[in-house]
Structure 1
Amino acid sequence: MNKKQSLVNKYPLVTAFVALVIAFVLLLTIKTDGTVLQNLRQEVPLTILTLGLVVAIGGFKLIKFQSNGLGFTFRKSIIYLIPGILVASSTIFAAISAHRALQPNLILLILEGVFFYSLLGFFEEGMFRGVILQALLAKFGKTRRGLFGAIIIGGIIFGFVHILLGWFQSGVDLSVLGLLQALVKTLSAGMAGYFFGAIYLKTKNLWGIAIVHGLSDFLLMIGNLMFTGSNSVSYVSSDPKQAMTTLLINTIFILIYIPLVVGATRQLKSLTLPQLGFYRENWK
């Protein structure tokens, strides 16, 4: 183990915290206009940072492509993809009904979107499952209670960070509707994080969860790309009508994710202990 690997392995929770802070700084300082190309200015360095850190922690084998577990990941993720399919269908149907015109550079936008959401999947899964969850496992993964605690805390962090970034950018909305939107988004994204954490521990394959994550987000935004050219998103709105729509959508997501959480819980109960992650174990 080289000196850099020794340092990040010695202090996993500190490493995870510093990585998250750096990611926040990049997101807040690199400004975008909501278009895919502008958002890539954020996503490229974030992905390089995250995958570089994963390699520093556990070596290149952690990001090397492997087919092992991909089929399992996609079979388990069918339900997870349903919200994206529903949102894509409803957005496209509403735009067609309103006689909105497709973007003139539609093909280019879709190709840019595929690239962007591929990077997004690897950044978010690399950061939250490949760095933060692994740090929590290194600390708490010796016992079954600790394993569940690590997965739950990792999921909550993943969910809340979506809201925290918006608060940094637009200010904290302490109204009832604002707090409700923050709560349901944190819960829905947290449930997804819990599910992805369980899948990752089962397959030990970052590619599967990164691809599924990126595909889901692409489906959620494909309608906007086709008719507005933008992939910007806001999880908390001050407009009452938009706020109610956001609450409804995330509540539906929560209901759809319940079977995923149940299945992930069964899966976690079947894992052998300890589960210390690749900070402490030699993942194969």
Structure 2
Amino acid sequence: MKRNVRKTMKSLSQNHCIIFSAVVIVIALILDPLFVQIFSLLEPGEYLPKIMGQIIPGILILLTIRCILPKQKIGFARKGLLVGIGLGWIFIIYSVINLDISFISQHGIIMPPLATTAGFVIYSISIGFYEEIMMRALILNNFILNWGHTKKGIYKSAILSSGLFGIAHLVNLFYTPDLKIAIMAQIVYATTIGLFFASIYLRSKNIWAVIFLHALFDFAASFKEVFSTAVNEITDITVGNAFAFNLLLLPLAFIGLFLLRKVEPVNIKDEINKPNYRR
């Protein structure tokens, strides 16, 4: 039975890779809050349930990769890490801007308990781990396996996987239905960032690089909620602010497309079937 399940998953991932990707995303989005609720019953603190809601689905996705892409390189080695971070230098600048220093300076900075600080940092990393393992290590790699033998296929893989990454943020409407404009904006800029991350991953062949960049951005985005004395009011943004924020991030899409120019098409199937192939 196990062999039949694996065969079915592999067939679906190869013959209907977009449907397969959508199914993976939906299942992951269900598992995330499920594990959060399960671990919340233990009353372990604010961040542990959230962390487990990211880590456990991420591990399950890694097992899925081993099942359908057993010889596919994921990029857990150190090789390419500095290359990836170097290519993403502009994103580090965006992350610093995202800290919103002016807001924090107006309202003051607090130092929360060490456990809260550690939990926040680990949670930011766990988001990067979970989302990059799913979107780049599994979905993008699977698209490349199917279409990456041509330049057009490489662009198609990067753009489609990024689009799915953006659309996945629609789930936030279930949790914060009053933030419709903010979530629509998030879908657009997540697609833009996803394309940039896809190019970084394909150029560096290192998953840690995009996990780091992703975690840094999420850390910066939520920094003022943890380290600022301001009361966190959840209100929607204006259409103008949504447009301005996406316009600010738009260069990342063009940089991503530019970086993809140096990603060479390869015969993926022949490559991963080499006798001495290693992860």
Confirm or deny a common fold (TM above 0.5).
yes
Alignment of 1:1-284 (within 5 A): 3=3, 6-12=7-13, 13=17, 14-29=19-34, 30-31=36-37, 35-59=46-70, 62=73, 65-88=76-99, 90=100, 92-98=101-107, 100=108, 102-105=110-113, 107-162=114-169, 164-171=170-177, 178=180, 181-227=182-228, 238=236, 240=238, 244-255=240-251, 257-258=252-253, 260-268=255-263, 271-274=264-267, 284=279
- Shift of the alpha carbon at 1:211? 2.0
Secondary structure of 1:68's counterpart equals coil
CA contact (8 A) 1:79 1:260 kept: no
Distance of 2:111 and 2:66 partners within structure 1: 39
Higher RCO, Cα 8 Å, sep 6+ = 1
Q: Does the CA contact (< 8 Å) of 2:104 and 2:228 recur in 1?
A: yes
1:206-240 Cα offsets, whole Å, 9 max, x none, are: 2222122212221222222212699x998xx5464
Cα 1:197–1:277 change in 2 (3 A) is farther
Q: Cα deviations across residues 18-76 of structure 1 (Å, max 9, x unaligned)?
A: 321211112344457x9433422422322222222223333488467411101110110
Structure 2 gaps, min length 5: none
Alpha-carbon distance in structure 2 between the residues aligned to 1:277 and 1:127:
24
Q: What CA distance in whole angstroms lies between the structure 1 residues aligned with 2:156 and 2:178?
A: 28
- How far residue 123 of structure 1 moved from its aligned partner, in angstroms, is 0.8
Give 1:87 deviation, angstroms.
Answer: 2.0
Q: 1:149 to 1:101 in 2, by over 3 A?
A: closer
**Percent identity for Structure 1 against Structure 2:** 20
Q: Could you tell me how far 1:128 is from its partner in structure 2?
A: 0.4
What is the TM-score normalised by the length of structure 2?
0.77
- Aligned residue for 1:138, secondary structure, equals helix
The answer to whether the 8 Å contact 2:158/2:199 transfers is: yes
Q: Give the distance between the partners of 1:273 and 1:64, measured in 2 at CA.
A: 17
The range that moved more, 199-208 or 143-152, is: 199-208
Matched residues in 1 for 2:121 and 2:271: separation? Answer: 29
CA RMSD between the two structures = 3.6
CA distance in 2, matches of 1:277, 1:25: 36
Name structure 1 gaps, 5 residues minimum: none
* TM score, norm. by length of structure 1: 0.76
Deviation at 1:140, TM superposition (A): 2.4
AA partner of residue 145 (structure 2): A
Aligned residue-pair number: 265
